[in-house]
Amino acid sequence: MIGEGERHSRETAAALIKARIGHWAAVMGLGYGRVFVKSQRTLWGSCSARGNLNFNWRLAFAPRQVLDYVVIHELAHLRELNHSKRFWAMVEKYCPDFRAPPTPTLPHKGGGRTARRRAAGGITSGRVL
C-alpha cells in the first residue's frame, strides 16, 4: 500500500522527470508519445517501438547528470531504436560526458557497450534500455 508521503514524493519525482524530458525533447527537436514514470527494480528507463517512454521515478533522486543521461538516451531512441553508432553519436552530442565515470554502478548494457553511472535513490545498479 502506498502511503500519502510516498505518493506525494512520487508525484514530485514524476513532475521533475517530465520537466527534464520536455527540456531535452525541445533541445533535441523531438516529439514523443506518452511518458510513464514507474517503479521498477532494475530498470532506469526504456523506450517502446511506439515512442512511449518509461522512466523509473527514483531517477528524480539521482544526480542531475544521471537523470539527464537517461532522458537523453531514451529520447535518442525515438530517432534510432537501436544502439548503433548513429545512436551513440546522438547521445554524445547532447551528453558529452556520458562515458566519463562519475563512479559507481549504474551499468549500462546495450550494443555491447558498458558505461558506468553513479547510482542513487536506493538502486545500486540498473539497466538503461
Q: Which residues bind Zn ion (CB under 5 A)?
A: 110
Pairwise CA distance, residues 72 & 117, whole Å: 14
Which residue number, 101 or 111, has a Cβ lying nearer to Zn ion?
Answer: 111
Which residue number, 58 or 77, has a Cβ lying nearer to Zn ion?
Answer: 77
Which residue number, 63 or 110, has a Cβ lying nearer to Zn ion?
Answer: 110
Which residue's Cβ lies closest to Zn ion? 110
Element (H, E) at 70: helix 64-77
| Minimum CB–partner distance for residue 13 and Zn ion (Å) | 21
Among 110, 8, 20, 108, CA closest to 63 = 20
Whole-angstrom CA distances from 84 to 40, 57, 66, 80, 119 are: 26, 27, 21, 8, 25
| Minimum CB–partner distance for residue 29 and Zn ion (Å) | 19
| Minimum CB–partner distance for residue 55 and Zn ion (Å) | 13
